[in-house]
Amino acid sequence: MNDIIDRTKFTLMNSCGRTPQKYTICVCKDKRGMYPCCVRKVTNDGDMILSEKDIEAQNRGAIFIPENETFTVYDGKKYDIGTGKTYLVLDKDHKLVETDKEGAVKETVKVRYMMNKDEAEWECIKNCSLIAMSQQQKNANGESVIDGGKHRYGKAILYVKYTNEDSTRRVSRTEKINKAYNYIFTEKTERGRDGLAQRSLLLSRNMDYATEQDIEDFLLLEASKNPDRVISTYEDESAQYKLLVLTAVNRGVITKDTQTGQFVYGATNLGTSVDSVVTFLKDDRYIAMYDSIKKETFREYNIKTKK
């Protein structure tokens, strides 16, 4: 699916909505306590301390930031960090490479990357606690860095919104819906009403007595609302086990003890939930029980033994 977001172009958005509020941010260190590679120390007079290589790179257009620099950010500020340049490092004889008689390169060329102005600024401020990488970003505790938890608000005010983020998500969602539709139409062609009814059962809807048109309508509606859920019933390796358990329960092959909450087959407790029963039956030690449940549940079909 084409769900690649261009992460080189983005805009800072204020989580409070459109506002003229501006914020001043100094150069921020990363979690290791290191400045970005484009940051240089300054003298007591405030001048940047540059090495000979830095000066050479600066003459080529490289951007360096003094460690005491500040940046003004605001809602709607745009960044384009994808236009940096590379250049070759010349040796003392001003030769780019050394080649043999056939022209093959004998020595590796040293290549250095130069950030553009936007990228250098972004590297300096991206670790600031006022900025979230997305509107949905969460911290290590699972709390929103913008909204915070139930005891306190988050610190972040601004968040990153990529230029093609909305359109990419819309296209991705449309592709997923079409994929879910194709699964449903293929199932209808290959297995007919029974296949559709079993698929609806995996979506927690028992439609054993519904018409084929009603079942198809339900599945297509579900695909348009939640395509990932429909797709998972076809691609999840546990789907066939879950289908067996749900059908076996509906047909009375597997019963549920109302006192203990256990699903029971014969005299064997299988678990207290559908997922736990699936885990039980996937264990190769119970392959005979799996086959027995399957034969009793789908008597109308010629069932092959589980491999």
| Multiple choice CATH, 237-307, 3.40.50.970, 1.20.120.1730, 3.30.250.10, 3.30.930.10 | 3.30.250.10
Q: pLDDT tens across 26-37, in order?
A: 999 998 999 988
188, 223 Cβ separation under 8 angstroms: no
% the chain with pLDDT above 90: 27
Question: Residue 98: its pLDDT value, please?
Answer: 47
Determine if the pTM surpasses 0.75. Answer: no
183, 234 Cβ separation under 8 angstroms: yes
Tell me the C-alpha to C-alpha distance, in Å, between residue 179 and each of 3, 38, 45, 198: 14, 46, 64, 19
Separation between Cα atoms, residue 74 and residue 253, nearest integer Å: 64
Separation between Cα atoms, residue 39 and residue 26, nearest integer Å: 12
Question: Residue 29: its pLDDT value, please?
Answer: 92
Q: pLDDT tens across 54-93, in order?
A: 888 888 788 899 999 999 999 999 998 877 665 555 444 4
Tell me the domain boundaries of the chain. Answer: 9-84+116-163, 170-236, 237-307
- Which ranges in 80-211 belong to alpha helices (H)? 117-125, 165-202
Question: Residue 170: its pLDDT value, please?
Answer: 81
Of the CA atoms within 13 Å of residue 10, those in its CB half-sphere come to 21
Least confident piece of the model among 70-74, 131-135, 295-299: 295-299
| Residue 307 pLDDT exceeds 50 | no
Question: Residue 121: its pLDDT value, please?
Answer: 92
| Residue 296 pLDDT exceeds 80 | yes
Q: pLDDT tens across 212-234, in order?
A: 999 999 999 999 999 999 998 88
Looking at every residue in the chain, the average pLDDT score rounds to: 82
Q: How many CB atoms lie within 10 A of CB 58?
A: 14
| Residue 154 pLDDT exceeds 80 | no
